[in-house]
Structure 1
Amino acid sequence: MSPSGAEFEDLADRLLRRRSGDTARVVVGVVGVPGAGKSTFTEALDRTLGSVAASVPMDGYHLADVELERLGLRDRKGAPETFDAYGYVALLARIRARPAHVVYAPGFERELEQPIAGAIPIGPEPDVVITEGNYLLLDRPEWRDVRSCLDEVWFVHTDDETRMRRLVDRHVRFGKSPEFATRWVERVDAPNARMIQETRDKADVLVDLTSWQGGEGKSEIHS
Protein backbone atom coordinates (compact mmCIF):
# COMPACT_ATOMS: atom_id res chain seq x y z
CA MET A 1 0.00 0.00 0.00
CA SER A 2 1.52 3.31 -1.12
CA PRO A 3 -0.29 6.44 0.09
CA SER A 4 -0.94 8.82 -2.82
CA GLY A 5 -3.28 11.55 -3.99
CA ALA A 6 -3.91 15.21 -3.32
CA GLU A 7 -4.56 14.64 0.38
CA PHE A 8 -1.10 13.19 0.86
CA GLU A 9 0.48 16.17 -0.90
CA ASP A 10 -1.48 18.48 1.40
CA LEU A 11 -0.04 16.72 4.44
CA ALA A 12 3.51 17.06 3.08
CA ASP A 13 2.90 20.74 2.37
CA ARG A 14 1.63 21.16 5.92
CA LEU A 15 5.09 20.23 7.22
CA LEU A 16 6.88 22.50 4.76
CA ARG A 17 4.71 25.45 5.80
CA ARG A 18 5.76 24.94 9.43
CA ARG A 19 9.37 25.76 8.61
CA SER A 20 10.22 29.12 10.11
CA GLY A 21 13.31 29.95 8.08
CA ASP A 22 15.61 30.14 11.11
CA THR A 23 17.57 27.35 12.78
CA ALA A 24 14.45 25.76 14.29
CA ARG A 25 13.67 22.25 13.09
CA VAL A 26 10.19 20.77 12.66
CA VAL A 27 9.83 17.39 14.38
CA VAL A 28 6.61 15.48 13.70
CA GLY A 29 5.49 12.16 15.14
CA VAL A 30 3.51 9.49 13.28
CA VAL A 31 1.71 7.16 15.69
CA GLY A 32 -0.73 4.30 15.31
CA VAL A 33 -1.52 0.78 16.42
CA PRO A 34 0.66 -2.15 15.27
CA GLY A 35 0.10 -2.89 11.59
CA ALA A 36 -1.62 0.43 10.81
CA GLY A 37 0.93 1.37 8.16
CA LYS A 38 3.09 3.87 10.06
CA SER A 39 6.37 2.86 8.42
CA THR A 40 4.95 2.82 4.87
CA PHE A 41 3.33 6.22 5.39
CA THR A 42 6.48 7.71 6.93
CA GLU A 43 8.71 6.37 4.16
CA ALA A 44 6.39 7.82 1.50
CA LEU A 45 6.30 11.19 3.29
CA ASP A 46 10.09 11.21 3.61
CA ARG A 47 10.50 10.50 -0.12
CA THR A 48 8.02 13.22 -1.05
CA LEU A 49 9.80 15.84 1.04
CA GLY A 50 13.21 14.81 -0.29
CA SER A 51 16.41 16.34 1.07
CA VAL A 52 14.63 18.71 3.45
CA ALA A 53 13.48 15.76 5.57
CA ALA A 54 14.80 12.74 7.45
CA SER A 55 13.08 10.00 9.43
CA VAL A 56 13.87 7.90 12.47
CA PRO A 57 11.85 5.05 14.05
CA MET A 58 11.02 4.56 17.71
CA ASP A 59 11.72 0.84 17.16
CA GLY A 60 15.47 1.43 17.49
CA TYR A 61 14.80 1.76 21.21
CA HIS A 62 13.54 -1.79 21.62
CA LEU A 63 15.45 -3.38 24.48
CA ALA A 64 17.74 -6.17 23.28
CA ASP A 65 16.49 -9.72 23.82
CA VAL A 66 19.20 -10.40 26.39
CA GLU A 67 17.86 -7.55 28.54
CA LEU A 68 14.26 -8.61 28.00
CA GLU A 69 15.23 -12.08 29.24
CA ARG A 70 16.85 -10.57 32.33
CA LEU A 71 13.71 -8.53 33.03
CA GLY A 72 11.34 -11.41 32.33
CA LEU A 73 9.71 -9.49 29.48
CA ARG A 74 10.75 -11.51 26.44
CA ASP A 75 7.21 -12.79 25.91
CA ARG A 76 5.87 -9.21 25.93
CA LYS A 77 8.25 -7.75 23.35
CA GLY A 78 6.62 -4.68 21.83
CA ALA A 79 4.81 -3.57 24.99
CA PRO A 80 5.63 -0.08 26.35
CA GLU A 81 7.91 -1.41 29.09
CA THR A 82 10.09 -3.25 26.55
CA PHE A 83 11.51 0.00 25.14
CA ASP A 84 14.10 2.47 26.41
CA ALA A 85 11.64 5.37 26.47
CA TYR A 86 14.02 7.73 28.26
CA GLY A 87 16.69 7.06 25.65
CA TYR A 88 14.20 7.82 22.89
CA VAL A 89 13.28 11.13 24.51
CA ALA A 90 16.97 12.04 24.74
CA LEU A 91 17.40 11.33 21.03
CA LEU A 92 14.41 13.50 20.10
CA ALA A 93 15.74 16.35 22.22
CA ARG A 94 19.12 16.15 20.44
CA ILE A 95 17.44 16.07 17.04
CA ARG A 96 15.22 19.02 17.92
CA ALA A 97 18.23 21.06 19.07
CA ARG A 98 19.73 20.67 15.57
CA PRO A 99 23.42 20.55 16.47
CA ALA A 100 26.07 21.24 13.84
CA HIS A 101 27.19 17.59 13.93
CA VAL A 102 25.54 14.33 12.91
CA VAL A 103 23.23 12.73 15.47
CA TYR A 104 23.27 8.94 15.17
CA ALA A 105 20.06 7.09 15.93
CA PRO A 106 19.57 3.34 16.37
CA GLY A 107 17.66 1.36 13.78
CA PHE A 108 15.79 -1.92 14.11
CA GLU A 109 16.66 -4.99 12.06
CA ARG A 110 13.48 -6.98 11.46
CA GLU A 111 15.25 -10.17 10.40
CA LEU A 112 17.20 -10.21 13.66
CA GLU A 113 14.40 -8.55 15.65
CA GLN A 114 17.11 -6.52 17.38
CA PRO A 115 18.02 -2.81 17.65
CA ILE A 116 21.16 -1.72 15.77
CA ALA A 117 23.14 1.11 17.35
CA GLY A 118 24.32 4.05 15.25
CA ALA A 119 22.44 2.92 12.14
CA ILE A 120 20.68 6.17 11.13
CA PRO A 121 22.62 9.44 10.65
CA ILE A 122 20.65 12.66 11.11
CA GLY A 123 22.77 15.55 9.91
CA PRO A 124 22.14 19.23 10.57
CA GLU A 125 20.70 19.84 7.09
CA PRO A 126 17.08 18.50 7.22
CA ASP A 127 14.49 21.07 8.26
CA VAL A 128 11.95 18.33 9.02
CA VAL A 129 12.44 15.10 10.96
CA ILE A 130 9.67 12.50 11.09
CA THR A 131 9.63 9.90 13.83
CA GLU A 132 7.18 7.00 13.93
CA GLY A 133 6.18 4.61 16.67
CA ASN A 134 3.40 3.18 18.81
CA TYR A 135 3.66 5.10 22.06
CA LEU A 136 4.26 8.75 21.16
CA LEU A 137 1.13 9.87 23.01
CA LEU A 138 1.17 7.42 25.90
CA ASP A 139 0.49 8.99 29.29
CA ARG A 140 3.08 7.18 31.39
CA PRO A 141 5.99 8.82 33.24
CA GLU A 142 8.68 7.45 30.94
CA TRP A 143 6.77 8.36 27.75
CA ARG A 144 5.20 11.76 28.57
CA ASP A 145 8.20 13.84 27.52
CA VAL A 146 8.04 12.42 23.99
CA ARG A 147 5.12 14.73 23.18
CA SER A 148 7.00 17.86 24.29
CA CYS A 149 9.73 17.06 21.75
CA LEU A 150 7.25 17.01 18.84
CA ASP A 151 5.63 19.94 17.03
CA GLU A 152 2.75 17.74 15.87
CA VAL A 153 1.61 14.15 16.21
CA TRP A 154 -0.34 12.43 13.42
CA PHE A 155 -2.38 9.32 14.22
CA VAL A 156 -2.69 6.90 11.30
CA HIS A 157 -5.21 4.09 11.20
CA THR A 158 -6.64 1.47 8.89
CA ASP A 159 -9.34 -1.18 9.14
CA ASP A 160 -8.78 -3.95 11.67
CA GLU A 161 -9.02 -6.82 9.20
CA THR A 162 -6.22 -5.44 7.02
CA ARG A 163 -4.14 -4.52 10.04
CA MET A 164 -4.40 -7.95 11.68
CA ARG A 165 -3.55 -9.72 8.44
CA ARG A 166 -0.46 -7.55 8.04
CA LEU A 167 0.69 -8.34 11.55
CA VAL A 168 0.38 -12.09 11.13
CA ASP A 169 2.07 -11.94 7.70
CA ARG A 170 4.92 -9.88 9.14
CA HIS A 171 5.58 -12.33 11.96
CA VAL A 172 5.51 -15.25 9.52
CA ARG A 173 7.82 -13.46 7.09
CA PHE A 174 10.40 -13.09 9.83
CA GLY A 175 10.39 -16.69 10.98
CA LYS A 176 7.35 -17.45 13.12
CA SER A 177 4.90 -20.21 12.23
CA PRO A 178 1.39 -19.06 11.22
CA GLU A 179 -0.02 -20.58 14.41
CA PHE A 180 2.54 -18.90 16.66
CA ALA A 181 2.13 -15.60 14.78
CA THR A 182 -1.64 -15.65 15.25
CA ARG A 183 -1.32 -16.37 18.98
CA TRP A 184 1.27 -13.59 19.36
CA VAL A 185 -0.98 -11.06 17.63
CA GLU A 186 -3.93 -12.01 19.84
CA ARG A 187 -1.98 -12.18 23.11
CA VAL A 188 0.59 -9.35 22.73
CA ASP A 189 -0.18 -7.06 19.80
CA ALA A 190 -3.94 -6.78 20.45
CA PRO A 191 -3.67 -5.46 24.06
CA ASN A 192 -1.00 -2.98 22.93
CA ALA A 193 -3.29 -1.84 20.11
CA ARG A 194 -6.14 -1.13 22.53
CA MET A 195 -3.81 0.94 24.70
CA ILE A 196 -2.57 2.96 21.72
CA GLN A 197 -6.07 3.47 20.36
CA GLU A 198 -7.01 5.20 23.61
CA THR A 199 -4.46 7.95 22.82
CA ARG A 200 -5.98 8.79 19.43
CA ASP A 201 -7.88 11.89 20.59
CA LYS A 202 -4.62 13.52 21.69
CA ALA A 203 -3.31 13.64 18.10
CA ASP A 204 -3.21 16.82 16.01
CA VAL A 205 -4.07 15.06 12.75
CA LEU A 206 -5.94 11.81 12.06
CA VAL A 207 -5.04 10.06 8.79
CA ASP A 208 -7.18 7.23 7.42
CA LEU A 209 -4.86 4.87 5.52
CA THR A 210 -7.75 2.61 4.58
CA SER A 211 -8.85 5.36 2.20
CA TRP A 212 -5.32 5.80 0.87
CA GLN A 213 -5.57 2.34 -0.66
CA GLY A 214 -8.23 3.69 -3.00
CA GLY A 215 -6.05 6.56 -4.13
CA GLU A 216 -7.71 9.14 -1.89
CA GLY A 217 -7.02 10.03 1.71
CA LYS A 218 -8.89 11.52 4.57
CA SER A 219 -7.38 13.55 7.36
CA GLU A 220 -8.97 15.36 10.26
CA ILE A 221 -7.09 18.25 11.84
CA HIS A 222 -7.60 18.98 15.51
CA SER A 223 -7.13 22.55 16.67
Structure 2
Amino acid sequence: MALDELVNAATALVGERRRAVLGIAGAPGAGKTTLAEAVVAGVAEVRGEDWVAHVPMDGFHLADVQLDRLGARGRKGAPDTFDAEGYAHLLRRVVDDPDAWIYAPGFERTLEQPIAAAMVVPPSARLVVTEGNYLLLPEPHWERARRATTEVWFVSGDEDLRRSRLIDRHVTFGKERQAATRWVAESDELNAALVASSAARADRVVVNSPRGWHFRA
Protein backbone atom coordinates (compact mmCIF):
# COMPACT_ATOMS: atom_id res chain seq x y z
CA MET A 1 0.00 0.00 0.00
CA ALA A 2 1.20 3.53 -0.80
CA LEU A 3 0.47 4.73 2.72
CA ASP A 4 2.84 2.12 4.12
CA GLU A 5 5.68 3.77 2.21
CA LEU A 6 4.84 7.14 3.76
CA VAL A 7 4.55 5.67 7.26
CA ASN A 8 7.92 3.96 6.88
CA ALA A 9 9.52 7.17 5.64
CA ALA A 10 8.06 9.15 8.55
CA THR A 11 9.24 6.59 11.09
CA ALA A 12 12.73 6.55 9.54
CA LEU A 13 13.11 10.28 10.19
CA VAL A 14 13.66 9.55 13.87
CA GLY A 15 16.74 7.38 13.35
CA GLU A 16 19.13 8.11 16.24
CA ARG A 17 17.36 11.35 17.11
CA ARG A 18 15.60 11.75 20.43
CA ARG A 19 12.70 13.25 18.50
CA ALA A 20 11.91 14.19 14.89
CA VAL A 21 9.31 16.63 13.57
CA LEU A 22 7.60 15.97 10.25
CA GLY A 23 5.93 18.99 8.68
CA ILE A 24 3.19 18.65 6.08
CA ALA A 25 2.48 21.72 3.94
CA GLY A 26 0.01 22.38 1.15
CA ALA A 27 -2.81 24.60 -0.03
CA PRO A 28 -6.14 24.85 1.80
CA GLY A 29 -8.15 21.71 1.09
CA ALA A 30 -5.19 19.73 -0.26
CA GLY A 31 -5.62 17.00 2.34
CA LYS A 32 -2.89 17.92 4.85
CA THR A 33 -4.90 16.99 7.93
CA THR A 34 -6.16 13.76 6.36
CA LEU A 35 -2.60 12.76 5.47
CA ALA A 36 -1.23 13.77 8.88
CA GLU A 37 -3.90 11.76 10.69
CA ALA A 38 -3.30 8.75 8.42
CA VAL A 39 0.46 8.87 9.02
CA VAL A 40 -0.01 9.27 12.78
CA ALA A 41 -2.43 6.32 12.85
CA GLY A 42 -0.08 4.20 10.74
CA VAL A 43 2.94 4.97 12.91
CA ALA A 44 0.91 4.36 16.08
CA GLU A 45 -0.13 0.95 14.77
CA VAL A 46 3.51 -0.04 14.25
CA ARG A 47 5.23 1.73 17.14
CA GLY A 48 2.44 2.39 19.64
CA GLU A 49 0.23 5.40 20.31
CA ASP A 50 2.67 7.03 22.73
CA TRP A 51 5.47 7.04 20.13
CA VAL A 52 3.85 9.63 17.87
CA ALA A 53 1.98 12.91 18.40
CA HIS A 54 0.06 15.33 16.19
CA VAL A 55 0.27 19.13 16.58
CA PRO A 56 -1.49 21.05 13.77
CA MET A 57 -0.78 24.69 12.98
CA ASP A 58 -4.54 25.45 13.10
CA GLY A 59 -4.40 26.06 16.84
CA PHE A 60 -2.33 29.16 16.12
CA HIS A 61 -5.12 30.95 14.28
CA LEU A 62 -5.61 34.35 15.87
CA ALA A 63 -8.93 34.48 17.72
CA ASP A 64 -11.66 36.62 16.16
CA VAL A 65 -11.21 39.28 18.84
CA GLN A 66 -7.64 39.78 17.61
CA LEU A 67 -8.63 39.66 13.95
CA ASP A 68 -11.24 42.35 14.63
CA ARG A 69 -8.60 44.47 16.37
CA LEU A 70 -6.40 44.14 13.27
CA GLY A 71 -9.27 44.56 10.82
CA ALA A 72 -8.38 41.18 9.35
CA ARG A 73 -11.36 38.91 9.96
CA GLY A 74 -12.24 39.01 6.26
CA ARG A 75 -8.80 37.54 5.52
CA LYS A 76 -8.93 34.77 8.12
CA GLY A 77 -6.54 32.04 7.05
CA ALA A 78 -3.96 34.36 5.45
CA PRO A 79 -0.37 34.07 6.76
CA ASP A 80 -0.59 37.17 8.97
CA THR A 81 -3.73 35.88 10.70
CA PHE A 82 -1.71 33.22 12.54
CA ASP A 83 0.61 33.50 15.53
CA ALA A 84 3.58 32.33 13.46
CA GLU A 85 6.09 33.23 16.18
CA GLY A 86 4.16 31.16 18.73
CA TYR A 87 3.99 28.23 16.31
CA ALA A 88 7.74 28.37 15.64
CA HIS A 89 8.45 28.61 19.37
CA LEU A 90 6.29 25.56 20.08
CA LEU A 91 8.02 23.45 17.40
CA ARG A 92 11.42 24.52 18.71
CA ARG A 93 10.39 23.51 22.23
CA VAL A 94 9.11 20.16 20.94
CA VAL A 95 12.64 19.46 19.69
CA ASP A 96 14.65 21.04 22.53
CA ASP A 97 12.58 19.88 25.52
CA PRO A 98 11.68 16.26 24.77
CA ASP A 99 11.32 15.25 28.42
CA ALA A 100 8.45 17.67 29.14
CA TRP A 101 4.73 17.34 28.62
CA ILE A 102 4.19 20.05 26.00
CA TYR A 103 0.67 21.42 25.61
CA ALA A 104 -0.44 23.08 22.38
CA PRO A 105 -3.61 24.82 21.21
CA GLY A 106 -6.15 23.06 19.03
CA PHE A 107 -8.79 24.51 16.73
CA GLU A 108 -12.55 24.08 17.01
CA ARG A 109 -13.94 24.23 13.48
CA THR A 110 -17.56 24.67 14.54
CA LEU A 111 -16.60 27.79 16.50
CA GLU A 112 -13.71 28.63 14.16
CA GLN A 113 -11.66 29.53 17.24
CA PRO A 114 -8.41 28.25 18.79
CA ILE A 115 -8.72 26.25 22.02
CA ALA A 116 -5.87 26.49 24.55
CA ALA A 117 -3.99 23.33 25.58
CA ALA A 118 -6.24 21.04 23.54
CA MET A 119 -3.26 18.99 22.27
CA VAL A 120 -0.31 17.47 24.08
CA VAL A 121 3.07 16.02 23.13
CA PRO A 122 4.09 13.45 25.78
CA PRO A 123 7.75 12.76 26.61
CA SER A 124 7.35 9.32 25.02
CA ALA A 125 6.71 10.80 21.56
CA ARG A 126 9.65 10.21 19.22
CA LEU A 127 7.87 11.58 16.14
CA VAL A 128 5.70 14.70 16.05
CA VAL A 129 3.64 15.41 12.94
CA THR A 130 2.56 18.97 12.26
CA GLU A 131 0.71 20.38 9.30
CA GLY A 132 0.21 23.90 8.09
CA ASN A 133 -0.23 25.84 4.88
CA TYR A 134 2.74 28.13 5.32
CA LEU A 135 5.61 25.98 6.59
CA LEU A 136 7.56 26.57 3.37
CA LEU A 137 7.12 30.32 3.00
CA PRO A 138 10.45 32.18 2.68
CA GLU A 139 9.59 34.62 5.45
CA PRO A 140 11.42 34.90 8.81
CA HIS A 141 8.59 33.74 11.10
CA TRP A 142 7.75 30.74 8.96
CA GLU A 143 11.39 29.88 8.28
CA ARG A 144 11.93 29.62 12.04
CA ALA A 145 9.13 27.05 12.15
CA ARG A 146 10.64 25.22 9.17
CA ARG A 147 14.06 25.03 10.84
CA ALA A 148 12.50 23.15 13.77
CA THR A 149 11.32 20.36 11.44
CA THR A 150 13.32 17.38 10.25
CA GLU A 151 11.56 17.31 6.89
CA VAL A 152 8.61 19.05 5.26
CA TRP A 153 6.41 17.23 2.76
CA PHE A 154 4.21 19.15 0.32
CA VAL A 155 0.77 17.73 -0.55
CA SER A 156 -0.32 18.04 -4.17
CA GLY A 157 -3.42 16.80 -5.99
CA ASP A 158 -6.31 17.61 -8.30
CA GLU A 159 -7.10 21.32 -8.02
CA ASP A 160 -10.79 21.09 -8.92
CA LEU A 161 -11.31 18.41 -6.29
CA ARG A 162 -9.40 20.49 -3.73
CA ARG A 163 -11.66 23.51 -4.31
CA SER A 164 -14.78 21.35 -4.17
CA ARG A 165 -13.68 19.88 -0.84
CA LEU A 166 -13.04 23.35 0.53
CA ILE A 167 -16.52 24.55 -0.38
CA ASP A 168 -18.07 21.45 1.18
CA ARG A 169 -16.02 21.98 4.35
CA HIS A 170 -17.20 25.57 4.73
CA VAL A 171 -20.80 24.45 4.22
CA THR A 172 -20.41 21.69 6.81
CA PHE A 173 -19.24 24.23 9.37
CA GLY A 174 -22.04 26.71 8.84
CA LYS A 175 -21.64 28.80 5.69
CA GLU A 176 -24.33 28.95 3.03
CA ARG A 177 -23.06 27.34 -0.19
CA GLN A 178 -23.02 30.62 -2.11
CA ALA A 179 -21.06 32.31 0.67
CA ALA A 180 -18.71 29.32 0.89
CA THR A 181 -18.07 29.43 -2.85
CA ARG A 182 -17.33 33.14 -2.67
CA TRP A 183 -15.00 32.70 0.31
CA VAL A 184 -13.02 30.02 -1.51
CA ALA A 185 -12.69 32.16 -4.63
CA GLU A 186 -11.82 35.40 -2.85
CA SER A 187 -9.81 34.19 0.15
CA ASP A 188 -8.73 30.56 0.10
CA GLU A 189 -7.50 30.67 -3.50
CA LEU A 190 -5.28 33.69 -2.82
CA ASN A 191 -3.69 31.73 0.00
CA ALA A 192 -3.44 28.62 -2.19
CA ALA A 193 -1.48 30.53 -4.84
CA LEU A 194 0.93 31.78 -2.19
CA VAL A 195 1.41 28.27 -0.82
CA ALA A 196 1.95 26.81 -4.31
CA SER A 197 4.75 29.30 -4.93
CA SER A 198 6.73 27.73 -2.08
CA ALA A 199 6.25 24.08 -3.09
CA ALA A 200 9.74 23.75 -4.60
CA ARG A 201 11.24 24.23 -1.12
CA ALA A 202 9.75 20.94 0.15
CA ASP A 203 11.91 17.91 0.94
CA ARG A 204 9.38 15.59 -0.71
CA VAL A 205 6.09 15.93 -2.59
CA VAL A 206 3.17 13.67 -1.67
CA VAL A 207 0.53 13.22 -4.37
CA ASN A 208 -3.09 12.82 -3.30
CA SER A 209 -4.54 10.79 -6.17
CA PRO A 210 -7.34 8.26 -6.84
CA ARG A 211 -4.82 5.46 -6.25
CA GLY A 212 -3.98 6.80 -2.81
CA TRP A 213 -1.12 8.72 -1.27
CA HIS A 214 2.31 8.33 -2.85
CA PHE A 215 5.58 10.17 -3.16
CA ARG A 216 6.23 11.94 -6.45
CA ALA A 217 9.16 10.27 -8.17
- When normalised by structure 2's length, the TM-score is 0.94
5+ residue gaps in structure 2?
Answer: none
Tell me if structure 2 keeps the 8 A contact 1:79–1:192.
Answer: yes
Kindly indicate whether the alpha-carbon contact (under 8 Å) linking 1:25 and 1:98 is maintained by their aligned counterparts in 2.
no
Q: Could you report, residue by residue, the CA deviation over 1:151-198 in whole angstroms, capped at 9, with x for unpaired residues? A: 100001110111011110111111111111011000000010000001
Alignment of 1:52-201 (within 5 A): 52-201=51-200
- The count of corresponding residues between Structure 1 and Structure 2 is 212
**1:98 CA drift (Å):** 3.5
Q: 1:143 to 1:19 in 2, by over 3 A?
A: closer
CA distance in 2, matches of 1:10, 1:45: 10
Are the equivalent residues in 1 in contact too, given 2:19–2:98 (CA < 8 A)?
Answer: no
Cα separation, 1, equivalents of 2:137 and 2:30: 17
| Deviation (angstroms), 1:205 | 0.8
Match of 2:208 in 1: 209
Residue 16 of structure 1 is matched in structure 2 by 11
Q: CA deviation at 1:121?
A: 1.1
Contact 2:84 2:141 in 1 (8 A): yes
Q: What is the percent sequence identity of the aligned residues?
A: 46
For 2:34, give the aligned amino acid. Answer: T
AA aligned to 2:4 is E
Gap runs ≥5 in structure 1: none
Match of 2:41 in 1: 47
Q: Which runs of 4+ in 1 moved over 6 A?
A: none
RMSD: 1.2
